[in-house]
């Protein structure tokens, strides 16, 4: 395939900040577009977004330079060349940028082109994206709904960032989505009954004025029951404390507490006995590698331990972490690394080591649903895309409904097995 044209456009993300959308056209037909998300609680070692120096009229820093890099550097280098596959295109992107963290052209510029190319290639073949990426993909991921927001994603006093409901015990993806939405509404009624705010955070989850993570966990369990589901059978819990956010001078400071790494691990162990928790992401800071090793030894057989900031979807950082016995699952965020090929490589490295995979959105999102198809193509068995409300979150969840319907009898819902462990 030969690339005929690549255009980029500065658009706004779900927080009203600039990001970019790339459209790539192939010679002889086939066009694809992709929009790039943006995180707020970013890991230290994520690939660098290209942002302009000055805050623009949107209040956030623009991506005009990233747009120019797509149109003036990347497009001329790719146009007219014949490519046989995605890996070749991504290799040229890496070569053009030639920095370890994509800071020259910007991981946002590279990813936009990389994903748009995948879409264009699928369109040319007349295939749905998930099928084009992996021919017999048929595993529908368990959706993890972030229904209570804290940390960097909300202005409430809750230090832990994400409290997710995981309807892993439902029979199909569509039933899981329905359960998530019903629990979300039940939670709203519960909060209203208690006179608490139902305003929402960046990912569409509620952000009431609570401070203690245990209060949030209790609310989740009550909401599941109120919606008529069984906690620990139909619906489970996943957490993303995003512990970098409350790590101060070697201690974890939240809700009036100051805990050592070992004490926080003990607290998590206690919660595993009290709440139906299936998954714990970034339970400790990325800097606290000894703590991570201890956490993994202590709880890794009982619960999924996901590395997000810890691994930043980077195959090399993941390899180091695996060698040190850190975590047992990888959070997959394409924009942390910058190309589709490297995202696959990270996922494959994780799989090879027996680590599980959770596909993930960013807190700043667009209506692009690429990660829904990618989750199916990779067979991650898990996806988190925020609350079951707000368009940019539902773009992914609703896309998965279409995929499940289109796969028909071949569709399989990953269910509880996707999380391993005993919980
Ligand atoms: O920490 C996370 O997992 C993400 C997505 O939920 O947040 P952000 O995109 O702000 O890094
Ligand atoms: Mg995270």
CB neighbour list of residue 58: distance below 8 Å, 6 or more residues apart: 12, 16, 17, 18
- Cα separation of 330 and 390, whole Å? 26
For residue 421, the model assigns a pLDDT of: 59
Q: How far apart are CA 33 and CA 269, in angstroms?
A: 44
ipTM given for this complex: 0.99
Q: Is 258 helix (H, G, I), strand (E, B) or coil?
A: strand
Quote the pLDDT of residue 423. 42
Closest ligand 1 atom, residue 146 Cα: 6
**Closest C-alpha to ligand 1, atom 4:** 362
From the CB of residue 393, how many other CB atoms can be counted at a distance below 10 Å?
Answer: 23
**Is 240 marked as binding a ligand?**
yes
Q: Within 10 A of 298 (CB to CB), how many other CB atoms are there?
A: 15
The ligand 1 site (C-beta within 6 Å) comprises 39-42, 162, 203, 240, 242, 308, 360, 362-363
Spatial distance between the Cα atoms of 115 and 129, rounded to a whole number of angstroms = 10
Do 423 and 236 form a contact (C-beta atoms < 8 A)?
yes
The pLDDT value recorded for residue 195 is 97
Would you call 371 helix, strand, or coil by DSSP?
Answer: helix
- Interatomic CA distance for residues 64 and 264, integer angstroms: 43
User: Structural domains in the chain?
Assistant: 3-126 (3.30.390.10), 139-419 (3.20.20.120)
pTM: 0.98
Ligand 1 geometric centre to CA of 364 (Å): 8
Q: What's CA 269's distance to the chain center, in Å?
A: 25
Q: How far is the CA of 244 from the centre of ligand 1 (A)?
A: 12
Centre of ligand 2 from the C-alpha of residue 241, in Å: 8
Which residues, in sequence order, are bridge partners of residue 89? Answer: none
Q: Has 136 been labeled as part of a binding site?
A: no
Pocket test for ligand 1, best of 238, 308, 332, 359 (most atoms within 8 A of CB): 308
Which ligand 1 atom sits nearest the alpha carbon of residue 331?
3
384 is in an annotated binding site: yes
pLDDT in tens, the chain (423 residues): 999 999 999 999 999 999 999 999 999 999 999 999 999 999 999 999 999 998 887 888 999 999 999 999 999 999 988 999 999 999 999 999 999 999 999 999 999 999 999 999 999 999 999 999 999 999 999 999 999 999 999 999 999 999 999 999 999 999 999 999 999 999 999 999 999 999 999 999 999 999 999 999 999 999 999 999 999 999 999 999 999 999 999 999 999 999 999 999 999 999 999 999 999 999 999 999 999 999 999 999 999 999 999 999 999 999 999 999 999 999 999 999 999 999 999 999 999 999 999 999 999 999 999 999 999 999 999 999 999 999 999 999 999 999 999 999 999 999 999 998 544
């Amino acid at each position: 395939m030969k690339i005929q044209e690549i255009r980029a456009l500065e658009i706004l993300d779900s927080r009203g900040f600039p990001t970019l959308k790339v459209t790539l056209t192939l010679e002889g037909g086939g066009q694809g577009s992709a929009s790039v998300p943006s995180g707020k609680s970013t890991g230290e070692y994520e690939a660098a977004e290209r942002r302009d120096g000055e805050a623009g009229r949107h209040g956030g820093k623009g991506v005009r330079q990233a747009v120019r890099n797509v149109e003036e550097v990347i497009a001329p280098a790719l146009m007219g060349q014949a490519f046989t596959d995605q890996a070749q295109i991504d290799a040229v992107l890496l070569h053009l940028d030639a920095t370890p963290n994509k800071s020259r052209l910007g991981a946002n510029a590279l990813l936009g082109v990389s994903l748009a190319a995948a879409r264009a290639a699928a369109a040319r073949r007349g295939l749905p994206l998930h099928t084009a990426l992996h021919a017999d993909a048929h595993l529908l991921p368990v959706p993890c709904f972030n229904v209570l927001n804290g940390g960097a994603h909300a202005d409430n006093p809750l230090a832990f960032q994400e409290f997710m409901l995981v309807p892993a015990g439902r029979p199909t993806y569509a039933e899981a989505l329905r359960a998530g939405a019903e629990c979300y509404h039940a939670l709203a009624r519960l909060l209203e009954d208690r006179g608490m705010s139902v305003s929402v955070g960046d990912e569409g989850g509620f952000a009431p004025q609570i401070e203690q993570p245990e209060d949030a966990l209790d609310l989740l369990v009550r909401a599941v029951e109120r919606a008529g589901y069984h906690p620990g059978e139909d619906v489970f819990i996943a957490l993303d404390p995003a512990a970098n956010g409350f790590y101060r001078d070697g201690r974890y400071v939240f809700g009036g507490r100051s805990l050592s790494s070992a004490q926080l691990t003990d607290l998590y162990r206690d919660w595993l006995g009290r709440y139906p928790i299936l998954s714990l992401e970034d339970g400790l800071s990325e800097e606290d590698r000894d703590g991570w090793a201890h956490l993994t030894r202590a709880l890794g057989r009982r619960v999924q331990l996901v590395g997000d900031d810890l691994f930043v979807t980077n195959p090399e950082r993941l390899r180091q972490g695996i060698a040190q016995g850190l975590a047992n699952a990888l959070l997959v965020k394409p924009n942390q690394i910058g190309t589709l090929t490297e995202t696959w490589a990270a996922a494959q490295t994780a799989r090879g080591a027996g680590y599980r995979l959770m596909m993930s959105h960013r807190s700043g999102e667009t209506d692009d649903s690429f990660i829904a198809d990618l989750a199916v193509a990779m067979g991650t068995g898990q996806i988190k895309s925020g609350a079951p409300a707000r368009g940019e979150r539902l773009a992914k969840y609703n896309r998965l409904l279409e995929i499940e319907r289109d796969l028909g009898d071949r569709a399989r819902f990953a269910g509880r097995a996707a999380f391993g462990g005993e919980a």
